[in-house]
Structure 1
């Protein structure tokens, strides 16, 4: 991940910070909690709708919800601005978080939110990671009853080792 290069390159730092946010999203969407954990420093703090606490407390809170109530999620990151301040940074990533589950008409598990991840990132132990995160929910809409079946056969996403990404990762090592 982040080996220190002195003097560090600001563009490399920005890219490493962006990668932290994207790995977090992949971890949530694919149920790879090690990726979510790795996005934070061990003493990192998270503030989500309905939750405030340490990264370990966050994992204990979010994973059962993802596994029990949701069939899937998809986090899409758009605008992402990183302001560097030495070994600290402010990262603001705009995104859309799509959630779906059963029953399909339940608006509490079938919704899309506009989010901003406002992160205090720090460079410690040779890597950038989240020190404190505010997952700001800007808006939410219900998608209850709006999902339709795929129109034919083809690749489908899963949240286990059968997902095309995980199979490719396994094949390439």
Structure 2
């Protein structure tokens, strides 16, 4: 394979990785529009839990059914781990290991706060230069109850957790102050 072809594959893999990061941001910020923009309309979504299948249908149907439950949490964080992507033209398959934390107050109740270990097996398709998920098979490895020590506050100048487009993650370089707080 020549250098140009290898570079093209690397660029495709980076675009797919960026797509997955946008997906995590969408779920964690409760931005349903951003989350669904990672899937082609009508994309198949199969969620398989520890005790069998939880959902088979489209991604839109899954998020329409589950979205309200996500807002019951104070916050969530999704972390992408190992990601193996195989690109073949305008199709790609990826297996992504993922950890997600969900918590809500009171923070000391392990029945309300947990860590999930999951895997995404995604089929991506590139249309008009844009990669999106065509099919997702979601596999739950395990869920563990957690007991958070506390929730972040503004006491030390750190931002509070946010599940909205007002979150710091949505600010662009042009939104940054001219002078650093370290100056």
Aligning the two structures, in what range does the TM-score lie when normalised by the shorter sequence? 0.7 to 0.9
* Structure 1 residues 20-31: aligned runs within 5 Å: 20-31=19-30
Q: In 2, are the aligned partners of 1:78 and 1:94 still within 8 Å (CA)? A: yes
Counterpart for residue 148 of structure 1: 150
Query: Which SS does the other structure have where 1:9 is aligned?
Result: helix
Measured in 1, the distance between the counterparts of 2:45 and 2:75 equals 21
Counterpart for residue 36 of structure 2: 37
Gaps of 5+ in 1: 1-5
134-143 or 97-106, larger mean C-alpha shift: 97-106
> CA 1:104 to 1:150, structure 2 compared with 1: closer, same or farther past 3 Å?
closer
Counterpart for residue 52 of structure 1: 56
Deviation at 1:108, TM superposition (A): 4.8
69-78 or 153-162, larger mean C-alpha shift: 153-162
Query: Which SS does the other structure have where 1:159 is aligned?
Result: coil
Deviation at 1:133, TM superposition (A): 0.4
Number of aligned positions between the proteins: 164
Counterpart for residue 8 of structure 2: 9
Counterpart for residue 180 of structure 2: none
TM normalised by structure 1 equals 0.83
Cα deviation, 1:13-56, whole Å, max 9, x if unaligned, reads 10111111111110000111111111100121112243222121
Measured in 2, the distance between the counterparts of 1:148 and 1:106 equals 11
Q: In 1, are the aligned partners of 2:36 and 2:60 still within 8 Å (CA)? A: yes
Match of 2:127 among 121, 124, 127: 124
Gaps of 5+ in 2: 176-183
Measured in 2, the distance between the counterparts of 1:119 and 1:64 equals 24
Counterpart for residue 162 of structure 2: 158
Query: Which SS does the other structure have where 1:20 is aligned?
Result: helix
Measured in 1, the distance between the counterparts of 2:136 and 2:111 equals 23
Cα deviation, 1:87-125, whole Å, max 9, x if unaligned, reads 111111111110001344554531101111110111123
* Structure 1 residues 55-66: aligned runs within 5 Å: 55-66=59-70
